[in-house]
Copies of this chain bind each other. A is one copy, B any other.
Amino acid sequence: MTRQDGRAFDQLRPIKITTDFVKFAEGSCLIECGDTKVLCCASVEERTPPHVAEGEGWVTAEYSMLPRANRERSKRDVSKLKLSPRSAEIQRLVGRSLRAAVDMTKLGGHTVTIDCDVLQGDGGTRTASVTGGFIALCLACRKLVERGDLASSPVRHYVTGVSAGIVDDAALLDLQYSEDSRAQVDLNCIMNELGEIIELQGTGEGRAFSLTEQQELVRLCAKGNKELLNIQKQVLGGKF
């Protein structure tokens, strides 16, 4: 099967990460995966939500599409007076994925909010939000260490995310929109630097899939995540 943009079945789209894209956030980057562009900003506040134990920190995420990030303009959430259920689902995924990487006792008393705003969407925005959000999180934690607010970075391991899917019965890595919109199966996989799984979400959109197919998709994601890990290491200069 030939992919529209000529990629191999197991090839990522070109990745570009511009750190410090905005100047006020403690950490930020613009992550571009092909035509998908997500602005990830990490903001630090010196307070934690009520459910967090005294002396611990918290990491949370918010996700939103700009109204014209897609082929059709969509109404803003505020005009419908509700968070889009899809956004709710995604920001819970991003939040869980990034929290997994942080030692909350080391982050003591601080909340880091990762805002992932999709400027342009062409498939894979949720996994790009995780990969880019991790960069923003690390940069913000670094700033806390530089400022003397934290003794050392609370980040424990890398976190990357990528999707794979089955299109015309072929397993493909990193679906772009034109592939995603007709995929039979779509699977998102968030991993750490050891290739272990942090989050896994697979959906049979056109048909069910076998355990063998599921393993093939996870293996593709593992390959993609490994490459994303190397890019993260480069961007971050080899340390959190």
Q: Are A191 and B215 in contact (CB under 8 A)?
A: no
Q: Give the chain B neighbours of A68 by CB distance below 8 A.
A: 22, 24-25, 28, 41, 43, 115
A55 at the interface (CB under 8 A from B): no
> A23 — which chain B residues lie within 8 A by C-beta?
35, 120
Closest residue of B by beta carbon distance from A71:
B24
Task: Say whether chain A's binding surface is mostly helix, strand, loop, or mixed.
Answer: mixed
B-contacting residues, A166-224, CB 8 Å: 187, 191-192, 194-205, 208-211, 214-215, 218-219, 222
Chain B nearest Cβ from A37, distance in angstroms:
8
Chain B contacts for A131, CB-based, 8 A: none
Whether B210 pairs with A197 at a CB distance below 8 angstroms is yes
Total contacting residues, chain A, CB less than 8 A: 65
A182 to B: closest C-beta gap in Å = 15
- A39 interface residue per 8 A CB criterion: yes
Known: A77-B78, A88-B85. A208 touches B24 (CB 8 A): no
The answer to whether A73 touches B43, judged by C-beta atoms less than 8 angstroms apart, is yes
A146 interface contact, C-beta 8 A: no
**Given contacts A78-B77, A78-B78, A88-B89, are A119 and B83 in contact (CB under 8 A)?**
no
Cα A77 to Cα B88 in complex, Å, equals 14
